[in-house]
Chains A and B, each alone.
Chain A
Amino acid sequence: MKKLLTLAGAGLMAAAIPAFAQNAALVPYVYEKAVHGGDIAWMSISTVLVLLMIIPGLALFYGGLVRTKNMLSMLTQVFAISAVVCIIWVTYGYSLAFSYGGSMDTYVGGFSKAFLSGVDATTLVPTFTNGVWLPEYTFIAFQMTFAMITPALIVGAFAERMKFSSLLVFTILWVTFIYFPMAHMVWWWGGPDFLAEQQTLKLIAEAAGDTAGAAAAAANLAANGLLWNWGALDFAGGTVVHINAGVAGLVGCIMLGKRVGYGKDSMAPHSLTMTMIGGALLWVGWFGFNAGSNLESNAITSLAIVNTFVATAGGGVAWMFAEWLLKGKPSLLGLVSGVVTGLVAVTPAAGFAGPMGALVLGLVAGVACFFFVAYVKNMFKLDDSLDVFGIHGLAGIIGAIATGILVNPALGGAGIPDYTSVPGTLQVGAYDMMFMLTAQTKAVLFTIAFSGIGSFILFKLVDMVMGLRVKEDIEREGLDLAEHGERAYNN
Chain B
Amino acid sequence: MIIAAIKPYKLDEVREALTAVGVRGMMVTEIKGFGAQSGHTEIYRGAEYAVNFVPKMRLEMVVADGLADQVVDTIAKTASTGKIGDGKIFVLDVAGALRVRTGETGDDAL
Contacts and interface: CB of A to CB of B under 8 A. Distances in A.
Partners in one complex: yes
B47 A333 contact: no
A269 interface: yes
B44 A269 contact: yes
A378 B47 contact: yes
Interface string B23-51: 00000000000000000001111110101
A422 B51 CA distance: 67
Contacts of B43: 327, 329, 331
A267 B50 CA distance: 11
A12 B46 CA distance: 55
A266 interface: yes
A337 B49 CA distance: 19
Interface residues of B, number: 8
Contacts of B45: 333-334, 337, 373-374, 387
A333 B49 CA distance: 15
Interface string A331-349: 1011001000000000000
A327 B43 CA distance: 8
Contacts of B44: 268-269, 331, 333
A378 B44 CA distance: 12
A173 B97 CA distance: 69
A476 interface: no
A331 B41 CA distance: 13
A268 B50 CA distance: 10
Contact of B51 (A266, A267, A375, A378): A266
A442 interface: no
17 contacts: A266-B49, A266-B51, A267-B47, A268-B44, A268-B49, A269-B44, A327-B43, A327-B46, A329-B43, A331-B43, A373-B45, A373-B46, A374-B46, A375-B46, A377-B46, A378-B46, A387-B45
Q: Which 4 A-B residue pairings sit nearest by Cβ, starting from the closest?
A: A374-B46, A266-B49, A373-B45, A268-B49
Given A267-B49, A333-B44, A373-B46, 17 more contacts: A267-B47, A268-B42, A268-B44, A268-B49, A269-B44, A327-B43, A327-B46, A331-B44, A333-B45, A337-B45, A373-B45, A374-B46, A375-B46, A377-B46, A378-B46, A378-B47, A387-B45
Interface of A: 266-269, 327, 329, 331, 333-334, 337, 373-375, 377-378, 387
Interface of B: 42-47, 49, 51
